[in-house]
Structure 1
């Protein structure tokens, strides 16, 4: 799959990167993880805390798939508003998902503090503003639903927004408890942690065949070697769809720019994460080296040529959208990208379990909060594979109900 194109930023932030060998012989293990990006690394991180023999493989260098275009706004709330999730799944279901996302952000902070690589984790607040006057009513519904759950949210009117930011919007939700990080450093940091605990990692090792039996799975590599495993986790990001197409998942195209370094952020209140109610929307964050990531303007296309043809136009549009908010911060795009971006029809990530793939689990941590969702799903899979009770598993299986039971 042609995942992305452009001038990528994250590889420039991490130069002394550990490498892993390709697989050069037949091996056995308890759990095989296919994919050494963010999702696979989180699965390896949590499974390394068990007594299982775990192997990770990736057809590229570790972290060189969609991790390279992950803009890593670490937020608890998603594209589908919380009140909409309540309408779709019921209040208890939606509230549990929200709690798991909050706990996942805490987990990412905990991991960041124990890894030997500085993953640039920083707690941030978020500003979610109404793009047009007609969206204020939606924000009011969201505010009411979140306050009912005790979520840390504050309503800001136009005057209050003006008091903090150099722009005016009709209304906004101001939330706390989110964050930002470097997804490439996080991925390698998690893999290094897992490696130190016995997990074997192989780069440039492509799986191109499999034999799935009742009690054993055998995966075959492009170089002619085999890996026997009791369980297999397919955590290959959007390329997981090439192994098992899932009708509840969909791919679109997204864009981002990373700017020059900025000297003065005084007009950007607390360097908050900023996003909006418009669809498609624009979002922005700052980086550890004082750049700005501006992303969004998604296009409903899953064709790489069509996606890439729009990149130069989108690059300019994103800079224009930023300058509409911050007239005093003049920036230019030093890095830019076009990439596939996955979502689900109902707004929640998924763990796929299929009769035609015995002993296999498919991680579809799709959506705007992919790193948070991957953290949630990786912990669930650790429990399921070690036969520990985890009722949250059923919240994210692909067979979940479309509507709440009444």
Structure 2
């Protein structure tokens, strides 16, 4: 079962906004269900809502409880732009597949926005543009090539030269790509809203419950738990985030550390449109605003997962991130009111792994998220719910474990 990680430390900004309470029960006896979801963060919540909407009987378990893993540590830039630029991804997996991955990512953001509106989930969603700034990975010439690649794939992209970038947004960089149709939201409120919707449809939530072993057979999966009771399901979905389960192939996936800060509310000092901002650099800086005008800024990622070392760096990394934010927007108050750190998964292509685990057709997994965790969780909820219904999703192969 999973290697246990302390997924986050510090005080994420979302702790200042109240999310609805998601009630859970104690698991006191063996139970059976149609689908068992392990994990009650954003991925598990999206799966639970999608599967209960399809009429499935669903049980969710979590060893901590709802909303207590990585979800509160996300900066929740719900964007369709994948970490790996389209021009780069095309060279890695071929132009056709790369274009389709980007298009599916864009569709997922649209679908999620529609789902939030349809379900009436109060998570302060706002449509926002994003600015992808020239940096150490893509300079101005490569950024122009990237904008062309996106347009040829049918994805709207506007290349901004330094003058309009400075004029419109007050940013001094060598160039940027402007994209529409991303979403900013409160990830805890979204997760709670989706779980409560599943609960209305008679999903059963048990926590804290820790899965210790998973045994799959031709027609069912039996999951043993730490305190004794077993759960038998026709299908199991592993939505354990960055805590990798032994049964899941660890191919091309690594867990890294990131840091973030949030300022006091300063709505009058925000840049026009409060667009998401991120850089074509490695590691990149990413910036967004909250609905009440705080500025969230993160980055300084490092390729290690030692929690003690990661946590010791909070003060130093916060100061560095604040300094970089101050260089980008000198008029902002960049003093961190909140500072936190977390671990997250990345893959070489920037694409997630979604679907049935090789040789285990009834055990499905969602993993490898990069900067698009929420977008990829939406894609997973679509692909896996189709698979459980016995339907084929046209893009399933793009994200499959054996791709």
Q: TM-score, normalised by structure 1?
A: 0.94
SS at match of 2:202: coil
Output one character per residue of 1:195-223: Cα deviation in whole Å (capped at 9) or x when no partner: 11122122211111232222111112222
Residue among 221, 227, 233 paired with 1:229 = 233
Counterparts of 1:358 and 1:382, CA distance in 2: 13
CA displacement at 1:116 relative to structure 2? 4.6
Partner residue, 2:59: 55
Aligned with 2:298 (options 295, 320, 343): 295
Correspondence for 1:404: none
TM-score by length of 2: 0.95
CA distance 1:303–1:218, change in 2 (3 Å): same
**Where do residues 296-311 of structure 1 align in structure 2 (5 Å cutoff)?**
296-311=299-314
Q: Paired residue for 1:113? A: 117
- Return the offset for 1:360: 0.5
Alpha carbons of structure 1 residues 217 and 336: separation in structure 2 relative to 1, 3 Å: same
Structure 1 counterpart of 2:376:
373
Which is worse superposed, 373-382 or 348-357? Answer: 348-357
Answer whether contact 1:31 1:231 (CA < 8 A) is retained: yes
> Quick one: structure 1 residues 166 and 340, their matched pair in 2 at CA, closer, same or farther if it must change by over 3 Å?
same
1:32–1:15 distance in 2 versus 1, CA, 3 Å: closer
- What does 1:71-82 align with in structure 2 at a 5 Å threshold? 71-82=75-86
Question: 1:12: Cα distance to partner?
Answer: 2.4
| Corresponding residue of 1:259 | 263
1:350 to 349, 353, 362: 353
Deviation at 1:365, TM superposition (A): 4.5
Q: From the superposition, tell whether residues 117 and 123 of structure 1 become closer, same or farther in structure 2 (CA, over 3 Å).
A: same
- Equivalent positions of 1:168-247 (< 5 A) are 168-241=172-245, 244-247=248-251
Are 1:316 and 2:312 matched, yes or no?
Answer: no
Q: Distance in 2 between matches of 1:189 and 1:142?
A: 36
- Summarize the Cα distance change of 1:199–1:245 in structure 2 as closer, same or farther, 3 Å threshold: same
Specify every segment of 5 or more residues in structure 1 that has no aligned partner in the other structure, as ranges. 401-406
Moved more, 233-242 or 132-141: 132-141
User: C-alpha deviations, 1:37-78, integer Å up to 9, x for none?
Assistant: 011111111111213211111111201100011111011112
Note the residue ranges of structure 2 that are not aligned, 5 or more in a row: none
Structure 1 range deviating more: 367-376 or 391-400: 391-400
Query: How much does 1:356 deviate?
Result: 5.2
Q: Distance in 2 between matches of 1:141 and 1:64?
A: 41
Correspondence for 1:38: 42
Structure 1 residue runs of 4+, over 6 Å off?
A: none
Look up the match of 2:25: 21
SS in 2 for 1:333: coil
**Is structure 2 residue 11 aligned with structure 1 residue 7?**
yes
Tell me how far 1:34 sits from its aligned partner: 0.4
Number of residue pairs matched?
Answer: 399
Q: After superposition, what is the alpha-carbon deviation per residue over 1:157-210, rounded to whole angstroms, capped at 9, x for unaligned?
A: 011111112231111101111111111111110111111112212221111123
Q: Is the 8 A contact 2:136 2:282 kept in 1?
A: no
Quote the residue 1:403 is aligned against.
none
Cross-structure match for 2:91: 87
Match of 2:342 in 1: 339
Aligned to 1:325: 328
Deviation of 1:289 (Å): 2.0
Q: Answer whether contact 2:215 2:222 (CA < 8 A) is retained.
A: yes
CA shift digits 1:306-327 (9 cap, x unpaired): 2122111000111111110111
What is the RMSD computed on CA atoms of the aligned residues?
1.7
